[in-house]
Amino acid sequence: MAGRSVATADTSATGEPIEVRENARVPVTMTATRELDHLKVELEFAGLRWWVVHDEPTEGTTWTRVVDMGEYSDYGVGLYKIVASTSGQGFSCTGSALIDVQGGSPLRTVAGLAGLGLAIVGGLGLLWVLFRGPAGAPLVGAILGVLLGAGVAVLLQEYAVVYPTLAAAIIALGGGAVLGMLFGLFGTRGRPRY
């Protein structure tokens, strides 16, 4: 991808991504020693493959396309994992790469605005739970903490700080839930009960 081999690419939360510009046309090539009959390319986020970019039959031992990043960068910039799966007569193979879509402001993309919205709702909600929340607010705090954690995880991804692997997503959401529960417990401690 973009002239780099992904055979040994590190796709961990802090792996070194392939850098591409938001409006670049990026060459992608897959090669096998035997005839290919099908290729599927998907985007993965938090361990879930959620967007199929390409899924169709193919022929030959090499598949080459130029990907127009401009078709995708309005939805988000930052770190993404691309997973390509091929199959042929009696074999299958999967390769993945971490890419960093650069050049755009995360706060002008759908994902960036969604992350910011979640972080604001979760953060303001936790402050409400801490200072004004009802008695027994740990559950409400946990839910708001999950929203905050999700928003922060998306913003970190959009700003290319951390790619949200499944483990990183669990830490962000779980950490938010624990923080929210603590806010709920602390905010209700010592309040007079009527």
Q: Which two tokens stand for residue 76?
A: 């988000």
Q: What is the pLDDT of residue 14?
A: 86
Q: What is the pLDDT of residue 3?
A: 80
Q: In whole angstroms, what is the distance from residue 118 CA to residue 90 CA?
A: 46
Structure tokens, 32 = 């096998």
* pTM exceeds 0.85: no
- The answer to whether the beta carbons of residues 141 and 180 sit under 8 Å apart is yes
Position 191 scores a pLDDT of 52
Among 31, 137, 44, 29, which residue's Cα sits nearest to residue 99?
A: 44
Confidence (pLDDT) at 169: 94
Largest Cα–Cα separation, the chain: 76
Structure tokens, 94: 């999967």
- Listed in order, strand segments (DSSP E) in 89-174 are 91-102
Is residue 94 within 8 Å of residue 83, measured between CB atoms? Answer: yes
CA dist 74 → 13, 19, 106, 128 (Å) = 23, 17, 9, 33
State residue 136's pLDDT score: 66
**Please, what is the end-to-end C-alpha distance for the chain in angstroms?**
65
Q: What is the pLDDT of residue 25?
A: 87
Domain map (residue ranges) of the chain: 18-102, 106-188
Burial letters 149-185, b for 16+ CB under 10 A, else e: bbbbbbbbbbbbebbbbeebbebbbebbbebbbbbbe
Low-confidence ranges of the chain (pLDDT < 50): 190, 193-194
Right CATH number for 18-102 from 3.20.20.60, 3.30.720.110, 2.60.40.2950, 2.40.50.140?
2.60.40.2950
**Tokens standing for residue 163:** 């790619």
Q: Do the bridges between strand 48-57 and strand 36-45 make them parallel or antiparallel, or are there none, so unpaired?
A: antiparallel
Unique residue bearing structure tokens 């199929």 = 52
